[in-house]
Amino acid sequence: MALSLLLICVSAQAQQQHPDSLDVFYKHLQLNEIVVTGLAGETRIKEMPSPVSVIRPVDLAARSAGNIISAIATEPGISEITTGGGISKPVIRGMGYNRVVVVSDGVRQEGQQWGDEHGIEIDGAGVHSVEILKGPASLMYGSDALAGVLIFHPDPVRAPGEIGGRISTEYQTNSGLLAYSLATDGNMGGWIWGGRFSDKYAHAYRNSLNSSVANSGYRERSASVMAGRNGSWGSSRIRFSYFHLTPGMIEGEGDNFGYSIALPFQQVRHYKLVSDNTLNLGPGHLKLILGWQHNRRQEFEESDKAPGLDFRLNTLNYDIRYQSAFDGGWKTAFGLGGMAQKSDNLGEEYLIPSYGLVDAGLFATATKVIGLWTLSGGLRVDMRWLHSLPVEGRFEDFSRRFPGISASLGAVRPLGEHFMLRANVARGFRAPNLAELGSNGEHEGTFRYEVGDKDLKPEYSLQGDIGLDFTSKYVSLQAALFLSRVDNYIFSARRGDVTDEGLPVYVFKSGLAHLGGGEIGIDVHPVHQLHLSSAFSCVYAMEKGGDCLPMIPAPRLFSEIKWEITHDGRLFNNSFISMNLDWNMAQNRFYAAGGTETATPSYLLLGASAGTDVVIRGKTRFSLYLIGSNLTDKAYMPHLSRLKYMGIANMGRNVTLKLTVPL
């Protein structure tokens, strides 16, 4: 943190992009020219050999969801593990939990993501845009990026000399969700700052099968502040954020249907402090990121004073890397990154032991343009040390060391004027988490008893990706296929017996797994304002021996027709109206052993939305969106819903009204 303060004090002014200008930039820039956090640092999408998606600010604003993961879950290849309307965990190409790295404020989010019953501790109102990197091709993050990486970007810094803010509010008819967010930021004399406060309340949601789902309401509150300095030498900033989620724990019964939260419920608090520094050195720049995170997750079952489960996790993140571009088409990056963790079990009940963890990774990547070919590759070497603390009669004292090597090699080449070919081969690595190694207790939030295996080995994947893009004046198409082999693939399965309290026993096991599938998306725009789009994605996953793997999403087809009514209008600007169909096909490929999973029937959801900016005297005064979801009030249970096995359907018909006012 000292380096960050020093750089702030000695710097001069630097030019940054205005948020409003950036929105226009996103709208009119060709997708291939967008810069993303790629294999070797900042890379244009057209140079990425593996699949990458970018969700623009204008697209996020026009979506309705209870949390940021649900807001992006309609993207091809992206799914969510849900618990009611407020809790979602990301899944990329059939793999979730510790196989997906979530990056926010420049550091990987560490919030005990092994747990089923809580989501990602990120304020959706503070997310400006999202990058989705699919597959183990990114070497910047080490263990756990086996399935891919989600990168949530905050609001960009304002142009020099500007101070402003935003007020946004939202209401949803089904759960009565009331949300608002206040933000302010500025850039004066090279000094930059920003702040945001968000609040959200939701009562029990409804559907046509269960009526109101008792205790499915939640409260969410978050705040963040940022200060820094920009100059010709580079930039430096410090960001602090606080996130607090209080969700009810759904048990399939009860009479709590208001905004109050009844027992049992959770308290999830997440604090994060990040120092992000960039120094321009020679042909490139040196980047140093230091982060501290404190996560506290409590489950209150019998009393709202004494938690049953109580986990406290402290994490120190560090990342130092040098990125440069040289003559001759070379671009390189190398560095060191890792984290140190200390987890304490403070509750009256036990599920996982307290533990300490340290890991470090060295990586180097390179990109080279040779004629029409763009070649890229890299290598990363990781080492993770883990020590589990004993509890007499419950947890053993054991230590494990997990070495890992990740590598990637890919190529991109245009084929004529309209086609782009992409190919990539990557090796990924994931060390087992402490829940998989050392669980031994009742997991109240999942209604089961979990047993770990301290002898589990790390997962190693070998994945091949091939993709073809087509772009013309009236049609754009992206197709991607992947095939992956994962050694020591870890999952939990029902053992077949129950405890004295009647809870089913689940054990963690591993084996050789094969996953394959892909995504294909097409956008046809016969006239400038009309867009007809469809995206299909599917994953097939098998364990050696012929059993299907658990928690694999069903094939999905999402189609939309969108009419962009006005652009650059005098009163109404960026106006649109759209309708969509979300077809989740039947999932008949499930892990049946021990009754772990059952088949899931197909369902079709209808949605519609409309939005516009209102311009007065040449300035956007406010933006208004009306979004309808599940308009036919279909009772459905996704295959990845944790409430499916309690006979509880997802949210019924919902209409959302969103208003944003720039200041």
CA pseudo-torsion sign 597, 598, 604, 606: negative
Alpha-carbon gap, residue 609 to 606, rounded angstroms:
11
Positions of E strands within 15-70? 35-38, 41-44, 52-55
Q: Considering only 11-20, 329-338, 527-536, which range has the smallest mean pLDDT? A: 11-20
Confidence of residue 167 (pLDDT cuts 50, 70, 90): very high
pLDDT on residue 130:
94
252: left (phi over 0), alpha (psi -120 to 50) or beta: left
Q: Which two tokens stand for residue 652?
A: 């019924």
Pairing of strands 100-104, 148-153: parallel
Give the closest residue to 127 by CA, choosing from 147, 148, 150: 150
Confidence of residue 445 (pLDDT cuts 50, 70, 90): low
CA angle 487, 100, 352 (to 5 degrees): 80
Alpha-carbon gap, residue 556 to 520, rounded angstroms:
11
pLDDT on residue 392:
86
Please write the tens of the pLDDT for every residue from 633-650: 999 999 999 999 999 999
Helix (H) or strand (E) run with residue 437 in it: helix 434-438
Confidence of residue 1 (pLDDT cuts 50, 70, 90): very low
Give the closest residue to 183 by CA, choosing from 195, 193, 191: 195
* Amino acid letter, 427: R
What is residue 634's three-state secondary structure? coil
CB 124 within 8 A of CB 133: no
Alpha-carbon gap, residue 237 to 351, rounded angstroms:
38
pLDDT on residue 258:
78
Considering the chain, what percentage of its residues have pLDDT values greater than 90?
72
Model confidence pTM above 0.85: yes
pLDDT on residue 2:
43
- The full length of the chain comes to 663
Model confidence at 256: pLDDT above 50? yes
Alpha-carbon gap, residue 44 to 364, rounded angstroms:
19
Confidence of residue 108 (pLDDT cuts 50, 70, 90): very high
User: If you average pLDDT over residues 272-290, what whole number do you get?
Assistant: 95
Please write the tens of the pLDDT for every residue from 597-610: 999 999 999 999 99
Model confidence at 5: pLDDT above 50? no
Confidence of residue 32 (pLDDT cuts 50, 70, 90): low
DSSP 99: G
Confidence of residue 38 (pLDDT cuts 50, 70, 90): low
Is 2-662 in CATH node 3.20.20.70? no
